Structure 1
Amino acid sequence: MSRHRNARTESALAGRLAALNEARELGEGRLDDAVLQRVYDVLERASSRRSLSAEHTVVGFFGATGSGKSSLFNAVAATDAARVAVRRPTTSEALAMVWQPDGSAPLLDWLEVSERRGGGPVPGLTDGGGGLVLLDLPDFDSVHRGHRETAERLAGQVDVLVWVVDPQKYADAAIHNDFIRPFSAHTAVTLVVLNQVDRLASSEVKPVVASLSSILDRDGLGKVSVLGVSAVTGEGVDRLRREVAAVVKAKQAQSARLAADVAVAAGHLEQAAGAGVAAGVRQQDRTALAAGLADAAHVDTVVSAVRTSYRLEAVRRTGWPVTRWMSRFRKDPLRRLGLRREGPAEVNRTSLPPAGAAGQARLDSAVRDFADAASDGAAGPWRASIRAAARSNREALPDALDQAVASADLNATKRAWWWPVFSVVQWLALLVAVGGLVWLGVLAALGYFQLPVPEVPREQGWPLPTLMVAAGVVAGILLAVTSKFLSAAGARGRAAFARRRLRGGIADVAQSLVVGPVEAETARYARFQEALNAAR
Structure 2
Amino acid sequence: MSRHSGARGSTRLDDRLQSLQDARELGEGVVPDEALQEAFDVLERASSRRSLSADHTVVGFFGATGSGKSSLFNAVSGAEVATAAARRPTTSEPLAGVWGATGSEALLDWLEVGNRHQAAAVDGFADEQTGLILLDLPDFDSTRAANREIVQRMVGMVDVLVWVLDPQKYADAALHNGFLAPLATHGAVTLVVLNQVDRLPAHDVQPVLDSLHAILAGEGLGQVRVLASSAVTGAGIPEVRAAIRKVAVLRQAQSRRLDADLTKAAEDLRRASGEGEAAGVRAAAKTRLAEELAQAANVPAVVRAVGQSYRLESVRRTGWPVTRWLSRFRPDPLRRLNLRRDAPAELNRTSLPPAGAPERARTDAAVREFADSASAGAPGPWRAAIRATARAGRDRLPDALDQAIAGTDLGANRKAWWWGLFNIPQWLALLTVLGGLGWLGVLAGLAYLQLPVPEVPRVEGWPVPTLMIAFGLVLGIFLAITGRFIAAGAARARAARARRRLNSAVAGAAQELVVAPVEAEIARLAAFNKALKKAGPG
Question: Normalising to structure 2: TM-score of the pair?
Answer: 0.97
Matched residue of 2:81: which SS?
coil
Residues 164 and 194, structure 1, Cα contact 8 Å, conserved in 2? yes
| Mean CA deviation greater in 516-525 or 390-399 | 390-399
Counterpart Cα distance in 1 of 2:138 and 2:82 = 11
Is 1:364 matched up with 2:364?
A: yes
Counterpart Cα distance in 2 of 1:461 and 1:39 = 108
Question: 1:276 maps to which residue?
Answer: 276
Change (3 A) 1:300 1:203: same
Question: 1:23 maps to which residue?
Answer: 23
Change (3 A) 1:344 1:8: closer
Residues 81 and 119, structure 2, Cα contact 8 Å, conserved in 1? no
Shift of 1:344: 4.2
Question: 2:196 maps to which residue?
Answer: 196
Shift of 1:208: 0.9
Question: 1:447 maps to which residue?
Answer: 447
Counterpart Cα distance in 2 of 1:337 and 1:179 = 71
Query: Unpaired segments of 5 or more residues in structure 1?
Result: none
Is 1:433 matched up with 2:433?
A: yes
Post-superposition Cα deviations, 1:426-470, rounded to whole Å, max 9, x if no partner, equal 010011111112212222333344432211111222221111111
Specify the code of the residue in structure 2 equivalent to 1:313.
Answer: E
| Mean CA deviation greater in 448-457 or 103-112 | 448-457
Question: 1:348 maps to which residue?
Answer: 348
Question: 1:93 maps to which residue?
Answer: 93
Question: Normalising to structure 1: TM-score of the pair?
Answer: 0.97
Matched residue of 2:523: which SS?
helix
Counterpart Cα distance in 2 of 1:35 and 1:171 = 28
Is 1:492 matched up with 2:492?
A: yes
Residues 310 and 487, structure 1, Cα contact 8 Å, conserved in 2? yes
Question: 2:39 maps to which residue?
Answer: 39
Counterpart Cα distance in 2 of 1:124 and 1:82 = 18
Is 1:506 matched up with 2:499?
A: no
Shift of 1:259: 1.0
Residues 90 and 139, structure 1, Cα contact 8 Å, conserved in 2? no
Residues 375 and 386, structure 1, Cα contact 8 Å, conserved in 2? yes
Counterpart Cα distance in 2 of 1:260 and 1:86 = 34
Question: 2:393 maps to which residue?
Answer: 393
Residues 128 and 249, structure 1, Cα contact 8 Å, conserved in 2? no
Change (3 A) 1:80 1:121: closer
Specify the code of the residue in structure 1 equivalent to 2:239.
Answer: R
Question: 1:302 maps to which residue?
Answer: 302
Post-superposition Cα deviations, 1:297-351, rounded to whole Å, max 9, x if no partner, equal 1111111001000000000110011221221111100111111112344211111
Shift of 1:85: 8.3
Shift of 1:389: 1.2
Question: 1:224 maps to which residue?
Answer: 224
Q: Could you tell me the percent identity over the aligned residues? A: 63
Is 1:463 matched up with 2:463?
A: yes
Counterpart Cα distance in 2 of 1:219 and 1:102 = 39
Is 1:525 matched up with 2:525?
A: yes
Counterpart Cα distance in 1 of 2:446 and 2:100 = 141
Specify the code of the residue in structure 2 equivalent to 1:414.
Answer: R
Post-superposition Cα deviations, 1:452-500, rounded to whole Å, max 9, x if no partner, equal 2211111222221111111101100110111011101110111111111
Residues 162 and 192, structure 1, Cα contact 8 Å, conserved in 2? yes
Question: 1:135 maps to which residue?
Answer: 135
Residues 407-422 of structure 1 aligned to structure 2 (within 5 Å): 407-422=407-422
Matched residue of 1:141: which SS?
coil
Specify the code of the residue in structure 2 equivalent to 1:106.
Answer: A
Question: 1:64 maps to which residue?
Answer: 64
Specify the code of the residue in structure 1 equivalent to 2:333.
Answer: P
Change (3 A) 1:14 1:86: closer
Matched residue of 1:392: which SS?
helix
Matched residue of 1:393: which SS?
helix
Post-superposition Cα deviations, 1:78-111, rounded to whole Å, max 9, x if no partner, equal 2252467864442111111111110000000011
Specify the code of the residue in structure 2 equivalent to 1:521.
Answer: E
Question: 2:332 maps to which residue?
Answer: 332
Counterpart Cα distance in 2 of 1:173 and 1:345 = 74
Is 1:54 matched up with 2:54?
A: yes
Counterpart Cα distance in 2 of 1:26 and 1:68 = 46
Is 1:102 matched up with 2:94?
A: no
Question: 1:534 maps to which residue?
Answer: 534
Specify the code of the residue in structure 2 equivalent to 1:295.
Answer: Q
Residues 82 and 95, structure 1, Cα contact 8 Å, conserved in 2? no
Post-superposition Cα deviations, 1:372-422, rounded to whole Å, max 9, x if no partner, equal 111111111111111111122334321111111111111101111111121
Residues 187 and 224, structure 1, Cα contact 8 Å, conserved in 2? yes
Specify the code of the residue in structure 2 equivalent to 1:71.
Answer: S
Change (3 A) 1:90 1:83: farther
Residues 371 and 386, structure 2, Cα contact 8 Å, conserved in 1? yes
Matched residue of 2:20: which SS?
helix
| Mean CA deviation greater in 113-122 or 308-317 | 113-122
Counterpart Cα distance in 1 of 2:487 and 2:355 = 33
Counterpart Cα distance in 1 of 2:300 and 2:524 = 37
Post-superposition Cα deviations, 1:216-270, rounded to whole Å, max 9, x if no partner, equal 1112110112111111111111111111111011111001101111111111111
Shift of 1:353: 0.8
Residues 149-228 of structure 1 aligned to structure 2 (within 5 Å): 149-228=149-228
Residues 350 and 402, structure 1, Cα contact 8 Å, conserved in 2? yes
RMSD of aligned Cα (Å): 1.6
